[in-house]
């Protein structure tokens, strides 16, 4: 019998599935889609699994983008975008697919 924590995680697998359908996304965006697809979780746990996914090779940082605006903390935000890494095994979960479509359509409508 193995001791200790298992290497895999349901939450990280859901994040991988979201990135599969999203292609590339930043932490807050993944969190918003995760909540739509799977229910409540904290942003901290999503960021933890994004970082853990980097160490396991399931997720990689694709780019860092600085955006200017009027934020409560200042005028600049730095968004780290993530995509699937070589060790990712997406399950092509339909909940993730539906949530990515729903959030994506809502974002497009907001831009109009």
DSSP state of 10: H
Question: What local confidence, expressed as pLDDT, does residue 111 receive?
Answer: 61
- Say if residue 47 is exposed, middle or buried (CB neighbours under 10 Å; 0-12, 13-18, 19+): middle
Question: What local confidence, expressed as pLDDT, does residue 88 receive?
Answer: 95
Whether the Cβ atoms of residue 36 and residue 102 lie closer than 8 Å to each other: yes
Q: Residues 21-46: pLDDT tens digits?
A: 999 999 999 999 999 999 999 999 99
Whether the Cβ atoms of residue 23 and residue 83 lie closer than 8 Å to each other: yes
Is domain 10-111 annotated with CATH 1.10.10.10? yes
Task: Report how far residue 28's alpha carbon sits from residue 101's, in angstroms, rounded to the nearest whole number.
Answer: 16
Report phi then psi at 82, rounded to 5.
-120, 150
Say if pTM beats, i.e. exceeds, 0.85: yes
- The two tokens of residue 59 are 């997720």
Pick out the chain residues at pLDDT < 70.
1, 105, 107-112
Question: What local confidence, expressed as pLDDT, does residue 1 receive?
Answer: 64
Whether the Cβ atoms of residue 59 and residue 50 lie closer than 8 Å to each other: yes
Whether the Cβ atoms of residue 36 and residue 97 lie closer than 8 Å to each other: no
Question: What local confidence, expressed as pLDDT, does residue 112 receive?
Answer: 58
């Amino acid at each position: 019998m193995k001791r200790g924590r298992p290497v895999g995680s349901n939450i990280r697998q859901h994040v991988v599935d979201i990135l599969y359908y999203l292609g590339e996304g930043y932490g807050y965006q993944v969190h918003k889609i995760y909540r739509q697809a799977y229910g409540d979780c904290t942003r901290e746990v999503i960021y933890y699994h994004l970082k853990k996914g980097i160490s396991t090779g399931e997720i990689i940082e694709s780019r860092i983008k600085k955006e200017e605006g009027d934020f409560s903390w200042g005028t600049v935000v730095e968004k780290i975008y993530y995509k699937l890494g070589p060790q990712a095994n997406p399950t092509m979960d339909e909940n993730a697919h539906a949530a990515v479509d729903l959030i994506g359509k809502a974002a497009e409508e907001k831009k109009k």
